[in-house]
Chain A
């Protein structure tokens, strides 16, 4: 079976600054891929490029066999790609429910109606009429994931969902994610905590200064090998 997402030779610039240098990777269907690397390695840029929020100078992004390199974000969402952005980025003046409804603006299907979302996140169901800005960090992160789920994604991109959250809350979020995987979703997870990333995922891609330093099955690499790739050791 072919990969769900194929990225080849991706180059991304912010003005004169180059953030990605010929990044190639592929994401198999119905799995979870961890995207790791030091701060500034280009993880967020790569996710944003996949979601269509960041224009690419060269290279291609293929999804489900179609070239989507030039497609705007709403087209990609309709095809089934949704991003949970770094820092949650909820709409502060909207209620929890409105945030989730806005996420369905270009939904791929109606597979995730509000009731199903509230079923997956019972905590935020109680807060549905509250403004998103009044929630705790963990609740806000759950709303951010719920907003992406409202688009009924096949490929869910998650950018640092555990940032600034208590370990217990992070544990709950990851349990929800494993539920999503069982339901058939493909995940790409950016995670600072290497142990957690390797526990939750089948595949691992490590970025170093805008290039792929390591891409392997999690089962085939040791933690030390990943750490070496993370810090660029072993290169001269």
Chain B
């Protein structure tokens, strides 16, 4: 029963990793941007939640209708003012710019909020749990995080495959030059994708802050897990990202049952193993891998 419990808890944890990672996957799939500040943007979301929920005296969930549009707007502004310009100067420029952004965010947060670890007010959800039987207890908070991740990923997938916005995003991911040529205005496409990526990062940050604690430097660690989920799942594939996140979560918790001190190491070893054996990702079809090899994004 111990193992079943570990797998369930691992899946739930994996949902959180996938939620952080989906924005990273989207931004890379569409804009070919490796956003090294993604984890820090998630932490910014947690701090924004902290400010809003203490100012209004409400649990952080109540502030989401304010927080998510603000994060979306920040993502749009970031793309239009910074990343869009960086993209015009080759592949290395965006990497350097987002790295610089990451360092700046971490230091500004330290100045503004000190390095004390903080937590978010999750209201009555914080400690609530229910029994599945067989001694397995599931935290409502973990379950909410997992279901939110599934909902966000399904929503994104639907928007990409069914809407006119999604068609333009996929066409742009396939071939930027031709997308321009057939009349797609690429700037708004990129801006909305960046906005969505930052909004999902902020939402993930809120869950990080309610489930555990965060501090100004938490972004780097968050980024590493998000990256690993994206790579294990197959770059550019959202369902792959969910599966990749769950593979990480399950590995971490199951190995933790054996020996807690090897749990995180096991996650990184899994990542290395996948990168060595199937660099296209565990959950991509053969055809999608060919697409990747040709430099074609495989969103969806």
Contact = CB atoms under 8 A, between A and B. Distances in A.
Interface string A68-104: 0000111001100011010001011110001101110
B181 A102 contact: no
Given A92-B291, A93-B298, A102 B180 contact: no
A85 B178 contact: yes
A53 B168 contact: no
Nearest to B182: A103
Interface of B is mostly: helix
Given A53-B177, A85-B178, A101-B164, A94 B184 contact: no
Given A92-B174, A93-B174, A94-B174, A105 B298 contact: no
B168 A51 contact: no
A163 interface: no
Contacts of B164: 101
Contacts of A98: 167, 170-171
Nearest to A147: B182
Contacts of A19: none
Interface string A100-132: 011101110000000000000000000000000
Contacts of B177: 53, 89
Interface in B66-99: none
Nearest to B180: A73
B296 interface: yes
A148 B168 CA distance: 15
Contacts of B170: 91, 93-94, 98
A151 interface: yes
A74 B183 CA distance: 4
Contacts of A85: 178, 181
A78 B173 CA distance: 23
Contacts of B299: 93
B182 A151 contact: yes
Interface string B278-300: 00000000000001000011111
Chain B's interface size range is 20 to 34
B180 A77 contact: no
Interface string A169-211: 0000000000000000000000000000000000000000000
A93 B300 contact: yes
Chain A's interface size range is 20 to 34
Given A89-B175, A93-B299, A101-B167, A53 B183 contact: no
Contact of B183 (A48, A73, A91, A93): A73
B178 A89 contact: yes
A125 B39 CA distance: 46
A74 B182 CA distance: 7
Interface in A35-63: 48, 51, 53
Given A94-B174, A101-B164, A105-B168, A89 B183 contact: no
B174 to A, nearest CB: 4
Nearest to B296: A92
Contacts of A48: 181
Given A93-B173, A94-B171, 16 more contacts: A48-B181, A51-B181, A72-B180, A73-B181, A74-B184, A74-B185, A77-B182, A93-B170, A93-B174, A93-B298, A98-B170, A98-B171, A102-B167, A105-B168, A105-B182, A105-B185
Interface of B: 164, 167-168, 170-171, 173-175, 177-185, 291, 296-300
5 contacts: A53-B180, A74-B184, A105-B168, A106-B183, A151-B183
The 6 closest A-B pairs by CB, nearest first: A106-B183, A77-B183, A91-B174, A89-B178, A74-B183, A91-B171
